[in-house]
A and B are shown apart, each in its own frame.
Chain A
Amino acid sequence: MIRLQNIQRRYVSDEVETTALHDIDLHVAEGEFLAIMGPSGCGKSTLLNTLGTVDRPTGGRYLFGDRDLAALDEKALAKFRGQTLGFVFQSFNLIDELTIEENVALGLAYRADAGNRRARVAAAMDKVGIAHRAHHFPHQLSGGQQQRAAIARAIVGDPKLILADEPTGNLDTANGEQVMNILSGLNAEGATIVMVTHSPSHADMAKRRIDMLDGRIVASAMRDI
């Protein structure tokens, strides 16, 4: 489904030049659950953002299906994200002024096709178990609840690909487990997931794991099933 070829990401600021990604080659098949691991600063988030098209590579090719995403302009990319992707962040990134329900509905706000919004929002909230908190504001929820709301927002549009950057990083063990179970369940239902994590046990719940160091992929392993 996804093919990265020679992807490079270089940050140039004043004098310093940082290369966050060196010649990354990566293939993600449909239905995969991929975990990315590595020490802090090795480029995991940069890679995930590149996959999510919220960051543009400075070199290489990014093929999604048979589309070359480099050829798309900002507007088309925004549309692509809205239709195809779901994001989950370490710090939840819910909008404070909106209720949980409104936050989840945001996942449909930028799609043209989204009919039957109320039902889909309700279904997504149900799936992650926060329907009873629909009319609360984010700051009234625990971290785990907020992250589940963020997942609901990510999945409400039935994305082909879910990108999760340390989704359990801010959560305690129990809440972390709960989030991982939801993600596994989604994968089992057919969603493709790419997840950054620092937790080996969570990485073990993925089907495949890659390790990064200094902007390169240094190892790739399939989980034995």
Chain B
Amino acid sequence: MNRSALLSLYRSLTRHRLYAALNIGGLAVGIAVFLVLGLYVRFETSYEKWLPDHDKLYVVEEYWNQPGSPANGYSTGTMGGLIDELREDFPGIVGTRMQVMDANVIRPGSATSEAFGYADPDFLDVVPLPMARGDGRRALRDPSAVLVDETTAGKYYSGVDPIGRTITLAVMGKAANYRIAGVFRDLPKATVQRFSIIARMPSPHPDAMWRHWGSERVMTWLRFDTPADAARLAGQLRGFVDRRGAKDLGDVTKQLSLPVTPVTDLHLQTPGRKLTMTTLGLVGLLTLLIAIVNYVNLATARAGLRAREVAMRKVLGADRGALVRQFLGEAVLTVALAALIGLILAELGLPLVNSAGGLSLVMPYGLVVPALIGLTLIVALIAGLYPAVLLSRFPAAAVLASARSPGGGRAGTRVREALVVFQFALAIAFTVGTTVLVAQTQHVRSTDLGFRRDGLVIVGSTADSALDKAQVASFLQEVRRLPGVRMVTTSDSTPGYSTGNSANVEVPGRSDSGPSLQWITVGPDFFPTFGFRLLAGRLPDAAHRLDDMRNAPKDSDPVNILVNRRAAGLLGFATPMAAVGRTVGNGAPRTIIGVVDDARFFSPRDPVNGTVYYYASGQAQFPRTTLRVEGDPRRMVEQLRAIWRRVAPQVPFSAKTATQDLQDYYKADERAARLFGIGAGLAVLIGCVGLWGLASFNTARRVKEVGIRKTLGASSADIVKLLVGQFLRPVLIANLLAWPLAFVAMRAWLAGFDDRIALSPLYFVGASLLALAIAVLTVLGQSLRASRAAPAWALRHD
């Protein structure tokens, strides 16, 4: 490009300032959306990839094929002794295990909970965590040593060398002193199983259920040199499970399988996560596509307006090569400008997106810059080549003789119309998607959970195994006296927290092992405190001896239970009423005294488990405490903390409202909805920019036609109708494409929820009306201006 060409590019950008700003800005926003969502996808797919040798590492999962049961699906936990049994049957196999749980770091007068991992001595040989200080492998062979991550080291030994220092840890209720023998690097955010302290696993393990098939105590890692090796072992595990599992599981064994999953696949296995990632990735890609399409479309349309200039240059002796070079050069420069602005926008927008999406994405320039250069060249090639070749082929004489600029003829009009259809179809589908996402996330926040979620404060720390019963009792006693506390109860499960206990309950007269039901042990006042609805029968009380589990010390002793509506159905009772008074469980007779409505303690994605409630007059085994309070729950939490400090200073305190506990289930979807909303909103915006550009281009081309029509008697209203109308047809066709697309996509997404909204036609009609309104408003301004121009002026205009 020579100086005059640069000058003419600069002039054309500054002369048509609004047009240039919108055209380049639209592409820049598209690039920014693509970059940010691309980073998000990259993050979601980067889990565990930071780990050296991650491509050789696998995790043995448990897969339970038990539809309708709480255990159904994947779990990353296996029984403790699995690796030992694998080694016996498959000599030479390389693997290790880690048991992750909460442990308390005890300091004088306070205690803090940390994620703690018991690991095999060879853990770091198999899973080579990057170390910051010390020899991790040697440390794990020493039962009195621990490894901590950098953050934990800084937290307890800030400013001094942590190596060799002592740390007091209470693991599973037993406190002991450990020596810090090494510091490992903080696990990156993209990690499924997080832990900040590692110690050597005791051997033999004290847990009585350690080798019990069906338990889920540890994460079992395997290491294979090639995927083929992994597949070979995976193929032999069916027989292994059948051989080994039957002693504990009986015929349930056939419902269990042990998939060998690459460690990098674990994260996206969580239901809904892959769909969310794919969807957001698609939004990014499509937004970029819309932006490119718009850019190319506008650029080529504008180039048509320059046909006269090209013809003149040819008459003056420019050859085709020079013209092609000029157009391509211009395109590369403008697209590069857009890419640069896009990069800046993405960088500026990242903090916003990070907070909206709960992420901590950073821009990897080493990757992004080359990618943007590539993108620039591709887009510039499409945007520049078409007009370059097309225009330089126009016979100069024809262009100069014609009264009007060529707009690509009918074919050009068709292509532009198709592009408008494409854009609006996406815009409408995106709008439907956003409203459905928002409606569903609103719905799960406010839906009837089967209990009253407001005004509940849950103290999880009363379940800490480091507490003794007297401490729990005196804490509860003091809590009951607090003003504002209406009711207090204990249970081993609370919203967002499950023991994971479940058992098959046989039904008299049925030959199978009966449905698998979750069981929860509850203390006095549990049902009224939570506000459960009793559907039939009665609640447990002190007057009936058999209501109380403590009067049935052996599993085979008869005891009374309550079940929820779902369990009553699974047990084969037609109505709640029909279940009352019936006895289930063969060797362990359980008489149903009442049926409560289903209460959703867990994710809106999962069905409510069929649940058996056992009542115990004293404390449950691991009692979590729930309070129904009046007034500000946060102030209540502070009062509770003050009591806790007096009663049990050596155990960390944790209390949350039920709403906070449930929040974890909603967070991911709300973040996804927000990210989707941002991406979709910007895509629609870019679509509008594109439509605006097209409308202005079309209107510019039709100025003379408007003049002619007005001299023929067309009123301003006729002209507006004509100019707006040309965009209505594509927008209407877009609906036909968008509706089925959005319907299928949103139905698939909603199918991931057990508690979901209906896919009302209102979402579709609303989105279409919105798109229509946007289209009309975008085009209307220019049409009005064109329609008002005096026809005499328009006819002189060329």
Contacts and interface: CB of A to CB of B under 8 A. Distances in A.
A110 B718 contact: yes
A96 B715 contact: no
A223 interface: no
Nearest to B788: A74
A78 B710 CA distance: 7
A55 B790 contact: yes
B705 A52 contact: no
A56 interface: yes
B714 A110 contact: yes
B158 interface: no
A93 B795 contact: yes
Interface string A156-198: 0000000000000000000000000000000000000000000
A111 B713 contact: yes
A178 B703 CA distance: 30
Contacts of A83: 713
Interface extent on A, as a size class? 20 to 34
A188 to B, nearest CB: 25
Contact of B410 (A54, A75, A95, A97): A97
Interface in B711-728: 711-718
A95 B791 CA distance: 15
Contact of A110 (B402, B712, B790, B792): B712
A82 B792 CA distance: 16
Interface residues of B, number: 23
A79 interface: yes
B267 interface: no
A125 interface: no
B715 A75 contact: yes
Given A54-B791, A54-B792, A89-B795, A74 B716 contact: yes
Give the secondary structure class of B's interface. helix
Contacts of A49: 792
A95 B708 contact: yes
Interface string B748-787: 0000000000000000000000000000000000000000
A15 B682 CA distance: 44
Interface in B356-384: none
A74 B713 contact: no
A85 B711 CA distance: 9
A139 B402 contact: yes
B709 interface: yes
A215 interface: no
A109 B717 CA distance: 14
Contacts of B711: 52, 54, 81, 85, 87
A181 to B, nearest CB: 24
Interface string B402-417: 1110000010010000
Given A93-B704, A95-B705, A97-B410, A55 B792 contact: yes
Interface string B238-264: 000000000000000000000000000
A158 B704 CA distance: 24
B712 A107 contact: yes
Contacts of B404: 96
Interface in A99-155: 106-107, 109-111, 139, 153
A92 B404 CA distance: 12
A93 B711 CA distance: 11
Nearest to A93: B708
A19 interface: no
Contacts of B708: 93, 95, 106
Contacts of A92: 403
Contact of B712 (A46, A56, A91, A109): A109
A110 B713 CA distance: 6
A155 B476 CA distance: 100
28 contacts: A52-B711, A54-B792, A54-B795, A55-B790, A55-B791, A56-B790, A74-B715, A75-B715, A78-B716, A79-B713, A79-B715, A81-B712, A82-B712, A85-B711, A85-B713, A89-B795, A93-B403, A93-B707, A95-B705, A95-B708, A96-B402, A96-B404, A97-B413, A106-B712, A109-B709, A109-B714, A110-B712, A110-B718
Given A54-B707, A81-B710, 17 more contacts: A49-B792, A52-B711, A54-B790, A54-B792, A75-B715, A75-B716, A78-B718, A79-B713, A80-B713, A85-B711, A93-B795, A96-B404, A97-B413, A110-B709, A110-B712, A110-B714, A139-B402
Interface of B: 402-404, 410, 413, 704-705, 707-718, 790-792, 795
